[in-house]
């Protein structure tokens, strides 16, 4: 009986391992097939960011004068915390400029839609879960927030 339980456990473990390997292979195939599209989206996003630079400079000046909302750093993509995967390809992009450009009256409000479609953004890791991490200053105090891709974001918190 014990042997039977062990065999079932080993079989279940083997099935899970195979399923994980298959999903990794499928993900890699998806990455390869979308690589040129991702490159094009990246170039479009970079061009959009260059066009935003002057607007962002003015927005930052206005926000600083009233101790408003300044986006210090913003990153979008797949964040890997597992140290054993530290060699994994970087899958986050800097979206500081595009987010600052969306600040209006010391508020940033994003809908529940994927952030990949926002001007200056693109999907750096197609088919994988993404998040948006924002380090911002409001009224001279630093804050940090991280939200899943399809979750709404409202900062500062009191702008609900």
Span 1-43, pLDDT tens digits: 556 767 776 766 667 666 665 666 776 666 666 777 888 888 8
3-state secondary structure of 143: strand
Q: Per-residue pLDDT tens for 89-117?
A: 568 999 999 999 999 999 999 999 999 99
With CA atoms as reference, report the closest residue to 146 among 97, 92, 107. 92
The stretch 110-130 carries a mean pLDDT of 93
Q: Over pLDDT 70: what percentage of the chain?
A: 76
Q: Kindly report, residue by residue over 36-72, the tens digit of the pLDDT.
A: 788 888 888 788 889 889 999 999 999 999 999 999 9
Nearest-angstrom CA–CA distance, 107 and 100:
10
């Amino acid at each position: 009986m014990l042997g039977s339980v062990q065999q079932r456990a080993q079989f279940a473990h083997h099935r899970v391992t195979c399923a994980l390997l298959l999903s990794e292979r499928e993900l890699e195939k998806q990455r390869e097939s979308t690589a040129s599209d991702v490159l094009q989206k990246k170039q479009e996003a970079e061009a959009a960011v260059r066009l935003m630079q002057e607007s962002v400079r003015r927005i930052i000046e206005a926000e600083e004068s009233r101790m408003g909302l300044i986006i210090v750093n913003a990153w979008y993509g797949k964040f890997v915390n597992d140290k054993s995967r530290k060699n994994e390809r970087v899958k986050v992009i800097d979206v500081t400029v595009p987010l600052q450009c969306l600040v209006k009256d010391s508020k940033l409000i994003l809908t529940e839609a994927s952030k990949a479609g926002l001007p200056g953004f693109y999907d750096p890791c197609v088919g994988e879960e993404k998040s948006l991490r924002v380090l911002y200053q409001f009224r001279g105090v630093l804050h940090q927030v991280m939200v899943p891709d399809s979750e709404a974001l409202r900062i500062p918190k009191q702008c609900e």
